[in-house]
Structure 1
Amino acid sequence: MANGPAYMSDDDDRPLASAPPNGKGANGINGHANGSSDLSEDDMPLSQTTHTSETVLPPRRNLKRKKPVYAESSSEDDTPLASSPLKQSTSAAVYMPGAADATKAPVNGSKVKSESNDVDNSNGKAKRKPVKKKVKQEDDSDNEPLSKKTTSRKRKVKEESDAEMSDDVKPASAKKSATKKPKQEVGAAVVKPQKGKATKVESASPVEGKGKKKQKEEDDDDEVYRWWDAGPDADGSVKWQTLEHSGVIFPPPYEPLPSHVKMKYDGQSISEEVTGFYAALLETDHAQDATFNKNFFSDWKKVLQHHPPRNGIKITSFERCDFRPMFEAAKAKKKAMTSAEKKEAKKAKDEMEAKYTTCLLDGRREKVGNFRVEPPGLFRGRGEHPKKGSLKLRVNTEDITLNIGKDAPIPVPNVPGKWKAIQNDNTVTWLATWTENVNQNHKYVFLAAGSSLKGQSDMMKFEKARELKNHVDRIRQNYTADLKSKVMAERQRATAMYFIDRLALRAGNEKGEDEADTVGCCSLRCEHVTLESPNFIVFDFLGKDSIRYYNRVPVDAQVFKNIRIFKENKTDEDNLFDRVTTASLNKHLTQEMKGLTAKVFRTYNASITFQRLLDESNLEGATLQEKLNAYNKANRLVAILCNHQRSVPKTHDQSMEKMRYKYRALKYDRMKLRHVLFGLDAKFKKQDEFKEDESDIDEDFIIEHEDQCKAKEIEKLEKKFAKDNEKLVEEGQKPQPDSVLKEKIAAIEDEFKRLKKERGKSVASLKKEKPAEKIIESIEKLTEKIKTFKLQMVDRDEGKEVALGTSKINYLDPRITASWCKIHNVPIEKLFSKTLVTKFPWAMEVDTDWKF
């Protein structure tokens, strides 16, 4: 499947909004400029966010439904005027074309459909207008803190080595040695240029390139186009004057495995490309999924009809297929590659892709996001998608429409063939588009997340949410009054707005039969909502990505009555809001405030709640880790309210066990230092700061820990000895004899024998004596490090079921974080990954007085 940072972001998993090839619907006022096939904000699961600063954040609950009890009836005044329900139309399933040429898609596929920003892609299709805003959801891997990714080893030693014991004191721990380097300051001065000009900007973070390494890349990165000084372009028409790019890069053609590597069917060999797609996923959860296997086998049989095995085998049973030989062969081939071969392959790949990574936009060079065409494979989908496992066909040049400037040269594809079409539409920001065959969704190539066009779109989105602050009280008064409207459509609309505002449900819309059965507010069915007297409503449905939304909430008495009325004379399968669609709801909202849609409420509620939670944190005198924990706690609460859940990582328990081991190892190191101090002077035993007993450091752990450390020390020594000998041989010198290695190993064993004798005693010694002052200083640093590490353990465990990245990327105004970091002197790199710092350069310059 696709890989690499610039590759399409989860193309398997994320259907892209449709738009006609001429681009009139692909962008709109805030057209895409990001680097992936982005979804609109409606696609992000936001379900339980509070709507005012006074709202109390409810705890997560796991409650069973009760049988509905109605304690009161509605009077005639509460009953809307009778009106016949509107029957919602359902879209037919999209036919999956047969793979006539194995994985090649048919040329000139179906027409590109238009789709509105008013419609939630994850919840279906209705009449649609051109897309206006879309927001990129990025991989979790992109959200790793910058400081962890790129801080130099020297700096790390500077920060951590002092808190650890010296080598003499700590032979049982992994030892680090490096030359210390002066600490690089964060927040270098930025020269403010003339408005809208490209300006040399010094790096504001020590995480950028080091020394003279990759100097050319650094020089390019220094040229920052400060579009935010000139103000965002909000005219909604022309997005660029000139545009030149190299098109997209196609994946390499299929390379057959060696003739002896084949899958087995009843013991007989079969080999072709599609079997390799499945074999690659053999040890994943996908291969254990019944729907995935059913769809794969169905599409594979279609391929076999046109390309039957040469040995005449008839494939009729999936259970009789053995893909293990192909899986093992591919795994062995990858494992057999040396590090030098991997580096060489990566270098060749980077050189080949270099020209595709950037484009010329109005004379300045900007980065392109997803310039790679996704290779053929199996559609994975998200959640319970009914089409997961279906065959994704190979995309050809004849399937792709390019968008370039009128005078720009037409790019030459890297594979034989001609482009489907060339257009010159400067009112949109996509560079290329094509239609994938599984869901008939439309893929786009946009500029990278940090581009000027995408930045303007992001800023305008959050400014629109801030603008809502000035109108929200009036809007709430209006829909509260409409809760008693005599018109059914108005009463349903007001109730839906109540849920979207108070609970931040996604707007939603109806789904086709070929799509996952996920719903939002407007597409709720009666079965998804249960009433419990006196005023509780229980929501239970599958939201975006088939994540279950379960919430039991108290509501206003009138809302409770309305839901009961809406459910009367309906079956469980009927729509709860049969008179409301996302389009009609958003049309009404634009009358309340220009540019307002349902998704703006979610951005507003998430950001204003986050701002309130951060402001309520008392961080006076707090350590850096305590500040980070407070920030992550606020982020986690918003993510929980937004229903940004994730399944617990499979490696979580293993990771926590490693952290617990390291935590006890740090306490062991401190214990040994305390014992050294007691050996110097017994009076230290009576001082409170040295009385702490490491109760969780028992003899069994000490034995295990010292044995592990000894094994690591010997392994490290052996590797260094072998590497040193290789270097000597390369230099034409004689390698060291094995006796030298044996002597060094013997010295390590003697040191651990000394530690063994000290077990159970309250005194210890060092190989090299140190004054008490130095030992006390090391103990204090270790104590602080232990406290910090325990906070990290708590933070990791509390966040195991919550995805923090989604809200950071899409719902939380980045200026909240930037301002908070300046107020509390927290490096932004501790909270924002390099991707996010690049994505939100306009947000980094706010001052400490800025509030959402």
Structure 2
Amino acid sequence: MSGDSAMFSDDERPLAPKPTANGSGLKNGNGNANGQQSDVSMSDADDDVPLSQATRKSRQDPLPPRNLKRKKPVYAESSSSEDDVPLASSPAKPAPKANGRAKKSKPVKEESDDDAQSQSEREVAPKKRRAPNGKAKAPPKKKAKEESDASDEEDAKPLKKTNGRKKAVKQAESDDEDSKPLKKVAAKARATKKVKKEEDSGSDTPKPKKRSAKVKEEEAVSASPAKGKKGKKKEDDEEEDVFKWWEQHEAQGDGTERWQTLEHHGVLFPPPYVPIPSNIKMKYNGVDLDLPPEAEEVAGFYGAMLETDHAQDATFNKNFFEDWKRVLAKYPPCDGTQVTKFELCDFRPMFEYFEAEKAKKKSLSGEEKKQLKKAKDELEAKYMTCVLDGRKEKIGNFRVEPPGLFRGRGEHPKKGYLKNRVRPEDITINIGKDAPIPVPNMPGKWKKVIHDNTVTWLATWTENINQNHKYVFLAAGSSLKGQSDMQKFEKARELKKHIDKIRLDYTEDLKSKVMADRQRATAMYFIDKLALRAGNEKGEDEADTVGCCSLRCEHVTLENPNFIIFDFLGKDSIRYYNKVEVEAQIFKNIRIFKENKEPDDNLFDRVTTTGLNKHLTSQMKGLTAKVFRTFNASITFQRLLDEEELKGATLQERLNAYNKANRMVAILCNHQRSTPKTHDQSMEKMRYKLRSLKYDRMKLRHVLFSQEPKAKKNKKYNEEESDLDEDWIEEHEENLKAKEIEKAEKKFAKENEKLEADGKKPHKDSVLKERLAAVEEDFERLAKERGTKKATLKKDRPTDKLEEAIDKLTDKVKAFKLQMIDRDEGKEVALSTSKINYLDPRITVAWCNTNDVPIEKIFSKTLLTKFPWARGVENDWKF
């Protein structure tokens, strides 16, 4: 976008200024929006407004390089008052030194945030070191937290709707998120409308498909008071199919029993390995290497990734080679070659073979692709659903992840290790006592079959890299997940009632004489105001990512008079850099906490996540540190939306306002992403499309002037398109000509195919020649019109119709420019994570209803399925 000033010339200047990275109304590094020093302390600010990521530098500017070894700063205050020096209720004894460093206590790990991520890489159980023998302890018998799988969200489809006439089954209730009864999730009528799939990976505003005239007619009939008997019966049948769990108000019980009956078909294993052709071999030291299938499969995993960033990573290569050598020791090359040096391995032949196979698959005809998809759907059909208490529910991650190389997230020390093939002997199945035991789709027997109705998972196994327990749960649109989501957001809303007292308590403790209390209060301040994750201590074999409680002194730098600079790697190794203006007491506390400590010592050495959550629970039932994150994200989002004045705004302006608020929350929560590799290419395509719209408008204007010369004096039509030069127009018309010729040829070929199928004679080549000659004639006319400011149309239009068409194109140009601004500003921000996990969906539904925005423009098909319970809120609903 930047640098293309010509694109926004004349009357097509952007309607909305590009917001800064810190957002509208949020502070910059100097304390306020205009860069002037603020003389209002943070305590005077609105209690519901967290210290935002607004202080972060613009995302267009590069972040300063990470330099955690900072010089000790000189502070304005040379000594503290008595109030500033806390006493320790039980002074911590110096920890024994190991290799010159104090050993750190390892707190109990807190449940991870509900960020959308792959089920295969999510931690559901405490991490363990990789067992030498590859075995792992059985998963603990506990209520495993149900989590949505981002990869499965693409497969989620809205379920049928009903009015809840089926008898509700009484189920148990628990305070824990994952101890809610299983009931069928169903979308309301609006959610079942066909929604166009999102075309842009960087955009979160899918467009609804156009409805056919027949569909519109049927909807009009169904909406009519005088319905036909047939239509009424169909509607009643549909209503009887759905159970609206969110409309039930029965006593739920204590949550011990989660279901009565459960039937499913187990999990779907990936197909067995098919060896590549015998003439395709990798090379070692320039000579073909003849590998048995077991070793060849692992080599192929690396060969397929040869030109990715992973294959350029030293840690990834080292770990892969270590594991591959273990496989080679068991399945050595057939010719006896000893593979000892990674540098002598040439995987290029494998890579080229895999690329050729990809190209072949892409070149398949539409019919062949349909057949392959049909076969895949038929294979997966029975695994996609289960029968729970007599109702059909969708299953989330029913596919077992195929073997491959572990990629991890961020700078994971184990990336490159071999993920073993999971077999039936590794998997425990959970099913109803009277249900038939599923048969695995590969040779083998289940490790164990249990009938535990106090948990919600259907299958579990332990992966070999991090020894994490993997679970198969119901889909994101299931009743269980729906109730879990609703309770999570209700818990965050409940925090509103207690937040003032909680803030008052931790503000008082900021000056506590007890060091542990003062540290806890300071940590709570950061978690509340900055929406930081609580954080946990990591093992040596895990990525060095931290949260608030596990911050080290090197991660926090003080800058006079009262600024704190955070610089650390957060979840998924995403860098968190933020310069924040804080209250004077917070600044003093951090200075005290850092005194006499080494850079790699814990800043909050007397605070653990477990202890912090225990303290929070005493202030509000069920309150944990991560509830603050949901609360701050949702309440900030509500405030930002309410601040926008949208009276008279166009639909695209309203969508931009929504996405802007979404971006501000994503920045607050540090939901960053690297700029997509195709972003520049995508923006160039959009710029071309914008000029194409302007070209169409220009031609219509010239036609209008020919018919009505007085229109030249009208300001709406008399301004030329300054960014459409003769060279671009000529190139554009050549492109249009090529497309028209291709279109004519395809139409001719399709017509002949149909004639031959009907046993008739195909068209002669002369028919095609005539059509192509007509195309040539049209574009010769356009070529003659270049530079003359005159134009004609194939079919004459009256003046009023021309003016109407020009006005529509003007609106399209303005709307499209707003789309371009929106996409460019969101190139480094992941909007979907906060929308899925941290923003109460009822905020969006109420906002859409109030501002007359179709919900399908905001929520994808997946989210419509995930949040059916949010669809019925009143227009004035507030978080």
Query: Do they superpose with TM above 0.5?
Result: yes
Contact kept, 8 Å, 1:625 with 1:792, in 2: the verdict is yes
Find the aligned partners of 1:204 and 1:357 in 2 and give their Cα distance.
Answer: 20
Report whether the alignment pairs 1:391 with 2:418.
yes
State which drifts further: 193-202 or 836-845.
Answer: 193-202
Find the aligned partners of 1:819 and 1:740 in 2 and give their Cα distance.
Answer: 57
Report whether the alignment pairs 1:816 with 2:828.
no
Find the aligned partners of 2:337 and 2:379 in 1 and give their Cα distance.
Answer: 41
State which drifts further: 233-242 or 566-575.
Answer: 233-242
Report whether the alignment pairs 1:265 with 2:273.
no
Distance change in 2, residues 1:224/1:506 (3 Å): same
Distance change in 2, residues 1:111/1:803 (3 Å): same
Report whether the alignment pairs 1:706 with 2:693.
no
Deviations along 1:124-165, whole A, 9 cap, x unmatched? xxxxxx667554362598499x9xxx9xxxxxxxxxxxxxxx
**Equivalent of residue 520 in structure 2, options 490, 493, 512:** 493
Find the aligned partners of 2:76 and 2:167 in 1 and give their Cα distance.
Answer: 64
Alignment correspondent of 2:176: none
Report whether the alignment pairs 1:307 with 2:331.
yes
After superposition, where does 1:207-356 map in structure 2 within 5 Å?
207=194, 223-231=241-249, 233=252, 235-270=254-289, 271=291, 272-337=296-361, 338-339=364-365, 340-356=367-383
**Equivalent of residue 81 in structure 1, options 78, 82, 87:** 87
Distance change in 2, residues 1:231/1:659 (3 Å): farther
Alignment correspondent of 2:6: none
Find the aligned partners of 2:287 and 2:627 in 1 and give their Cα distance.
Answer: 58
Contact kept, 8 Å, 2:431 with 2:449, in 1: the verdict is yes
Q: Which amino acid in 1 is paired with 2:395?
A: V
State the TM-score, normalized to the length of structure 2: 0.80
Q: Percent identity?
A: 68
Q: Aligned-pair distance for 1:95? A: 5.3
Q: Aligned-pair distance for 1:246? A: 0.9
Contact kept, 8 Å, 1:93 with 1:513, in 2: the verdict is no
Alignment correspondent of 1:677: 704
Contact kept, 8 Å, 1:359 with 1:365, in 2: the verdict is yes
**Equivalent of residue 789 in structure 2, options 742, 762, 766:** 762
Find the aligned partners of 2:865 and 2:573 in 1 and give their Cα distance.
Answer: 31
Distance change in 2, residues 1:801/1:225 (3 Å): same
Find the aligned partners of 1:400 and 1:658 in 2 and give their Cα distance.
Answer: 48
After superposition, where does 1:539-688 map in structure 2 within 5 Å?
539-688=566-715
Report whether the alignment pairs 1:742 with 2:750.
no
For these two proteins, the number of residue pairs brought into alignment is: 737
Find the aligned partners of 1:516 and 1:571 in 2 and give their Cα distance.
Answer: 21
Q: Which amino acid in 2 is paired with 1:279?
A: G
Q: Aligned-pair distance for 1:90? A: 5.6
State which drifts further: 358-367 or 201-210.
Answer: 201-210
Contact kept, 8 Å, 2:532 with 2:547, in 1: the verdict is yes
Alignment correspondent of 1:506: 533
After superposition, where does 1:176-215 map in structure 2 within 5 Å?
191=163, 193=165, 196=168, 202-207=189-194
Alignment correspondent of 2:56: 60
Alignment correspondent of 2:175: none
Q: Aligned-pair distance for 1:826? A: 0.8
Q: Aligned-pair distance for 1:304? A: 0.7
Q: Aligned-pair distance for 1:736? A: 2.0
After superposition, where does 1:413-492 map in structure 2 within 5 Å?
413-492=440-519
Distance change in 2, residues 1:380/1:461 (3 Å): same
Contact kept, 8 Å, 1:195 with 1:230, in 2: the verdict is no
Deviations along 1:710-758, whole A, 9 cap, x unmatched? 1111112122222222222222222222222222112111111111111
Distance change in 2, residues 1:98/1:509 (3 Å): closer
**Equivalent of residue 111 in structure 1, options 137, 141, 156:** 137
Alignment correspondent of 1:803: 830
State the TM-score, normalized to the length of structure 1: 0.82
Find the aligned partners of 2:507 and 2:734 in 1 and give their Cα distance.
Answer: 69
Contact kept, 8 Å, 2:129 with 2:541, in 1: the verdict is no
Secondary structure of the 2:449 match is strand
Contact kept, 8 Å, 1:480 with 1:494, in 2: the verdict is yes
Deviations along 1:161-205, whole A, 9 cap, x unmatched? xxxxxxxxxxxxxxxxxxxxxxxxxxx998575784889964545
Deviations along 1:15-70, whole A, 9 cap, x unmatched? xxxxxxxxxxxxxxxxxxxxxxxxxxxxxxxxxxx984445742431468885221
Report whether the alignment pairs 1:71 with 2:76.
yes
Find the aligned partners of 1:456 and 1:516 in 2 and give their Cα distance.
Answer: 33
Report whether the alignment pairs 1:690 with 2:690.
no
Distance change in 2, residues 1:544/1:54 (3 Å): closer
Q: Which amino acid in 2 is paired with 1:70?
A: Y
State which drifts further: 204-213 or 616-625.
Answer: 204-213
Secondary structure of the 1:688 match is coil
Distance change in 2, residues 1:526/1:143 (3 Å): farther
Contact kept, 8 Å, 1:98 with 1:302, in 2: the verdict is no
State which drifts further: 193-202 or 475-484.
Answer: 193-202
Q: Aligned-pair distance for 1:555? A: 1.3
Find the aligned partners of 1:664 and 1:750 in 2 and give their Cα distance.
Answer: 24
Secondary structure of the 1:522 match is coil
Find the aligned partners of 1:143 and 1:557 in 2 and give their Cα distance.
Answer: 51
Distance change in 2, residues 1:400/1:450 (3 Å): same
After superposition, where does 1:148-187 map in structure 2 within 5 Å?
none
Q: Aligned-pair distance for 1:383? A: 0.8
Q: Aligned-pair distance for 1:353? A: 1.5
Find the aligned partners of 1:605 and 1:809 in 2 and give their Cα distance.
Answer: 15
Contact kept, 8 Å, 1:430 with 1:447, in 2: the verdict is yes
* Contiguous gaps of at least 5 residues in structure 1: 1-49, 100-105, 116-129, 151-187
Report whether the alignment pairs 1:788 with 2:815.
yes
Distance change in 2, residues 1:574/1:653 (3 Å): same
Alignment correspondent of 1:359: 386
Find the aligned partners of 1:411 and 1:205 in 2 and give their Cα distance.
Answer: 32
Contact kept, 8 Å, 1:527 with 1:573, in 2: the verdict is yes
Q: Aligned-pair distance for 1:393? A: 0.2
Q: Aligned-pair distance for 1:237? A: 2.1
Contact kept, 8 Å, 1:138 with 1:809, in 2: the verdict is no
Q: Aligned-pair distance for 1:782? A: 0.8
Q: Which amino acid in 1 is paired with 2:267?
A: V
Deviations along 1:298-325, whole A, 9 cap, x unmatched? 1111111111101111212222222221
Find the aligned partners of 2:712 and 2:383 in 1 and give their Cα distance.
Answer: 67
Alignment correspondent of 2:148: 136
Secondary structure of the 1:523 match is coil
Secondary structure of the 2:806 match is helix
Q: Aligned-pair distance for 1:570? A: 1.2
* Contiguous gaps of at least 5 residues in structure 2: 1-44, 58-62, 96-102, 108-125, 170-183, 196-208, 216-233
Find the aligned partners of 2:827 and 2:245 in 1 and give their Cα distance.
Answer: 38
Deviations along 1:391-442, whole A, 9 cap, x unmatched? 0000011111111112222111111111111222212111001000011111
Secondary structure of the 1:553 match is strand
Deviations along 1:218-266, whole A, 9 cap, x unmatched? 9999832211111495733221111111111111111111111121222
Q: Aligned-pair distance for 1:112? A: 4.0
Find the aligned partners of 1:288 and 1:200 in 2 and give their Cα distance.
Answer: 46
